[in-house]
Structure 1
Amino acid sequence: MELDTGLREGVIAIANAAAAAILDVYRRDFDVVRKADQSPVTAADLAAHHCIVDGLRALTPGIPVLSEESAPEEIARRRHWDRLWLVDPLDGTREFIKRNGEFTVNIAYIQDGVVRYGVVQAPVTGTAWHGGAELGAWRRDADGERPVRVRAPATAPLRVAASRSHRTRDAEDFIARMGETEAVGLGSSLKFCVLAEGGIDCYPRFGPTSEWDTAAAQAVVEGAGGQLVDLQGRPFRYNCRDSLLNGGFIALGDPALPWRDWAGR
């Protein structure tokens, strides 16, 4: 599929529409339901899911859509797809419930296991980041659109992302081995976007995530000159395994940073 300007603008418009659906719920009282894995889901997750799935099916009728809120039978079929849209309608549901504004809409295009393009939309601020490894990366907000680039070479103190809701001992040990650091607390895929525009240098994650949590943000990071690798140093791939769970990862702005030393590898 040709990722031309028209298509990319169509995806950004769908992300904006999903953001509006989320804010409609955010501004009023809402219930929280626990899924089988005990993760929370709200009416905003479901409203954004339907908005995005319907929008992408109209925009690209021949390309299937896999969302965090897809039915189990759709998730089971996805291994037969060599291209797909991979969607997290509301990344950071815990942050949404806390009403701290740090949640996003994530939409990624995957082809042959590789993320080609991604959009990360922050509903509360209206800011969107989009891009891909072969395209570049941009930030779009009320002031217009500008290209973004990672901070490389990085200089001390290194700025490292600290998750709002998913801190682990492994991550804390990793950060301690980095030396002089400045911690930046953020929720959802906003951490990747701030890394892409040079606001942080490293985001280590050792706890579980799902493929829809990282795909769109990986596209933005790679478009900005950074990288997202697993703990063996391999770029993340998608829809290639039986499980949709990711292993640990390191997101870097400056690829020269000695992350293997910090990981004890």
Structure 2
Amino acid sequence: MTPSSQVPAVTLRDGEQIPQLGFGVFQIPPEDTADITTRALLAGYRHVDTAKAYNNEAGVGQAIHAANLQREDVYITTKLWNSDHGYDSAKRALRTSLDQLEVEHVDLYLIHWPTPAKDNYVETWKALIELQQEGLTRSIGVSNFQQAHLERIIAETGVAPAVNQIELHPYFAQTGLRREHADHNIVTEAWSPLAQGAVLDDPAIVEIAQAVGKTPGQVVIRWHLQHGNVVFPKSVTQSRIEENIDVFDFTLTDDQMAAIDALDRGERIGPDPDTFN
């Protein structure tokens, strides 16, 4: 069985399906993105998460061609940057991203941050709704939205996002926000799923890894998957790229899941969405 055929799909609220495990390209230099993403696609990944702010959308598009894959074989997510908030700007921004990616549509388009000080994420969300209707993106969602931001866009447009991509790892489990997602049938996506490596030396995770014969990173990815999160670990190392997708031949027990849940410290490593503008 190929790795790509083992990755489960999650059904979004709009009926579209998203591969639950993907490849993140945050902080991969633009000049290296095509090569590294090609290697990830050849290793079996079929979901790539990029963003305008990463400056490497073009490399993602090049990688699909280099891996000899058809457009429909790869799930592509990209994101609207803070400088493109607003109705007209948002509509232009996606078209620019499509040009960079060399595709006619993306599978998922996200508002990268709510930037509440600008107070125009509702107008931006209205543009995304239209972009979906126009077929330029199959699904629409948000990233780094807090409960109040979610409730406002839903109340003012009647349309809930398909996903909310948030910082989420064992030290920052976001239990309350994930519960809010479940109430609105919003899928949770986890960025920085390994806390940039900070959780990999945790004694509880190391102990579980030894018990199941896997690496700490594989254990944490499995924890995300069993919680229902969509997750995309990032690596530029070939062995780690392959290791991160080799997580479908074991299952964590309820006790092991609970032991990792208990590590939550409420500690962010990234910006606070309420103040990041």
TM-score by length of 1: 0.26
TM-score by length of 2: 0.26
The structure that is strand-richer by fraction is: 1
The structure that is helix-richer by fraction is: 2
